[in-house]
Amino acid sequence: MLLKNIEKALNDQIRIEAESSQIYLAMACWAEVKGLEGVAGFMYDQSQEERDHMLKLVKFVNERGGHAKVSELSEPNVTFNSFKEMFEKLFEHEVFVSQSINELVHITLQEKDYATHNFLQWYVSEQIEEEAMARTILDKINLIGDDKGGLYLFDRDIQQLTITSASIDTPQ
């Protein structure tokens, strides 16, 4: 059984994952409208992944005797000054999500809920990967600067990055 405060904390995380999915969907739309097909594809994939993160939590809460909450979501930012700014936002958001997961892990230890603690380790590893990926992308963007040819290659290469990360992801 889930303690009420842990159920509440997990439900808060469900909302955060759902909002992450919306944020990246809005980024996908912005990139697609700008003609950045590769970047858009990458963001659509990120959006889908966040939805999967949400569903994994939903199922855990329901299976453990809690009731997963489907809540209202705040409207994401839909325009960006540059694609660099968009990826900076993505990175900042992932750091925020990592902090939220850490807080959740902390509560499970305080409450000696080792089942939830164990379940959350997957999210801890996932956040390490996502932060690293966002950092790698930002490094590449900084290398490109204002070079249009560089942007073209970046848009093409990021599709490759998505394919590679998808193929090394372990099936759930």
- Summarize as ranges the residues that interact with Fe ion (CB under 5 A): 17, 50, 53, 130
Q: Which sign does the torsion angle of CA 142, 148, 149, 151 carry? A: positive
> How many other C-beta atoms can be found within 10 angstroms of the C-beta atom of residue 90?
22
Q: How far is the CB of 18 from Fe ion (least distance, A)?
A: 10
Q: How far is the CB of 17 from Fe ion (least distance, A)?
A: 5
Q: Which residue has the tokens 């939830």?
A: 116
Q: How far is the CB of 36 from Fe ion (least distance, A)?
A: 20
Measured from the CB atom, is 35 or 168 closer to Fe ion? Answer: 168
Measured from the CB atom, is 20 or 108 closer to Fe ion? Answer: 20
Measured from the CB atom, is 14 or 36 closer to Fe ion? Answer: 14
> How many angstroms from the chain centroid is the CA of residue 154?
21
Measured from the CB atom, is 53 or 117 closer to Fe ion? Answer: 53
State how far the Cα of 100 lies from the Cα of 114, in Å rounded to an integer: 18
Q: Which residue has the tokens 């990246």?
A: 24
State how far the Cα of 130 lies from the Cα of 144, in Å rounded to an integer: 21
State how far the Cα of 136 lies from the Cα of 161, in Å rounded to an integer: 11
Measured from the CB atom, is 3 or 80 closer to Fe ion? Answer: 80
Give yes or no for a contact between 144 and 150, defined as CB atoms under 8 angstroms apart: yes
Q: How far is the CB of 131 from Fe ion (least distance, A)?
A: 9
Residue 122's SS3 state is: helix
Query: Which residue of the chain is nearest Fe ion when measured via CB?
Result: 53
Q: How far is the CB of 87 from Fe ion (least distance, A)?
A: 13
